Amino acid sequence: MSTVPISVLIVDDQELVRTGFRMVISSQSDMIVVAEAADGRQAIAEAARVRPDVVLMDIRMPGIDGIEATRAVRAANARIKVVILTTFDADEYVYEALAAGASGFLLKDGPADELYRAIRVAHAGES
Ligand SMILES: [Mg+2]
């Protein structure tokens, strides 16, 4: 395991969702939350500012949505990996998200172990 923790940017328009992910991720010694964003515009700005290893990206957000933000983040820096946060009713976006450069998907109501795994796999993957 790397001694440098995987840096994570959390993007979701719901504050409690961001707080929950931050708490869960903070329990792991090999990953660290470096920033949060509440919409796509903030996500693009924060990704450029902190250059995280992995972005956890909500899809449905006001203004610039997660698909468009994924495309912008990856275009600006292909080293940054994006894991899309999905709900069961958002499956229609899966193809679009992959085309936009997402590395993987994560169900928002899934177990913490799947979150850790998704972050580690995205980080280890190729650009
Ligand atoms: Mg949302």
Instruction: Using the mean position of ligand 1's atoms as its centre, give its distance from the Cα of residue 59 in Å.
Output: 6
pLDDT of residue 2: 52
pLDDT band for 87, please (50, 70, 90 cuts): confident
Instruction: Using the mean position of ligand 1's atoms as its centre, give its distance from the Cα of residue 76 in Å.
Output: 23
Average pLDDT for 66-71: 96
What percent of the chain has a predicted confidence (pLDDT) above 90?
A: 80
Q: Is 13 or 126 the better-scoring residue by pLDDT?
A: 13
pTM confidence score: 0.94
Cα–Cα distance measured from residue 5 to residue 40, given in angstroms and rounded to the nearest whole number: 25
Which domains, ranges and CATH numbers included, belong to the chain? Answer: 11-124 (3.40.50.2300)
Instruction: Using the mean position of ligand 1's atoms as its centre, give its distance from the Cα of residue 19 in Å.
Output: 14
